[in-house]
Amino acid sequence: MKIALTGTPGVGKTKVANLLKKMGYDVLPLKKIADEFIIGYDKERESKIVDEELMDDYIKNLKEEGIIITEGHLSHLLSVDGVIILRCHPKELKKRLKAKKWNERKIKENLEAEALDIILQRALQKHKKIWEIDTTEKNAEEIAKEVVKIIKKMPPPCYGKVDYSEWLIENAG
């Protein structure tokens, strides 16, 4: 079974993935393989352009021996059996991205993407089994436990309850 662990940069994907790896899960950080699929560079957005189809073909061809967790902010675009989206309130996300020394333009872009549910919207175009976890007031251990519970029980999909639209209204202009 292949599970995507995704979310806007800064929501806690890597910390949670590292804990899942320590728990014995097979975690594939997309950062480590994405360089093999780069087809260009977007100067305006200061980001690499990845051939999503080629990367998806690679994931499709992975031998499944148990559970494989693909971790990264593009993993919801891949052919997986379920998608876990980590979410974070834009106010908290801003603090996290500033701590990572991100520039203001990239921070603004990611805060807006989080508030507009961009990753959820894109995931819904391809998947039915989607779960959201609000990481705003949780530590990595708590989040990892929730992820494990989802993976083990595969409960009914749960998404659309996280709503940061008030942040958009407060920060318009």
What is the distance between the alpha carbons of residues 104 and 146, in angstroms, rounded to a whole number? 32
What are φ and ψ of residue 164, in 5° steps?
-110, 25
Share of the chain above pLDDT 90, in %: 84
Residues 158/132, Cβ–Cβ less than 8 Å? yes
pLDDT at 23: 97
Q: Could you read off the pLDDT of 120-152 as tens digits, one per residue?
A: 999 999 999 999 999 999 999 999 999 999 999
Tell me which residue has tokens 């008030």. 166
**Structural contact between residues 28 and 39, judged by C-beta atoms closer than 8 angstroms:** no
Average pLDDT of the residues in 102-107: 93
The pLDDT, as a whole number, for residue 34 is 87
pTM score of the predicted model: 0.94
Residue 68, classed as helix, strand or coil, is: strand
pLDDT at residue 173, as a whole number: 62
Structural domain boundaries of the chain? 2-89+118-160
Tell me if 120 sits within 8 A of 130, measured CB to CB: yes
pLDDT tens digits, residue range 145-157?
Answer: 999 999 999 999 9
What local confidence, expressed as pLDDT, does residue 158 receive?
A: 96
Token pair in block for residue 110: 């990611």
From 105, 150, 107, select the one nearest 129 (Cα to Cα): 150
- pLDDT tens digit sequence for 8-25: 999 999 999 999 999 999
Each residue of 64-91: pLDDT tens digit?
788 999 999 999 999 999 999 999 999 9
Single-letter residue type at 160: G
User: Which superfamily is assigned to 2-89+118-160 in CATH?
Assistant: P-loop containing nucleotide triphosphate hydrolases (3.40.50.300)
| Contact criterion met (CB below 8 Å) for 70 and 80 | yes
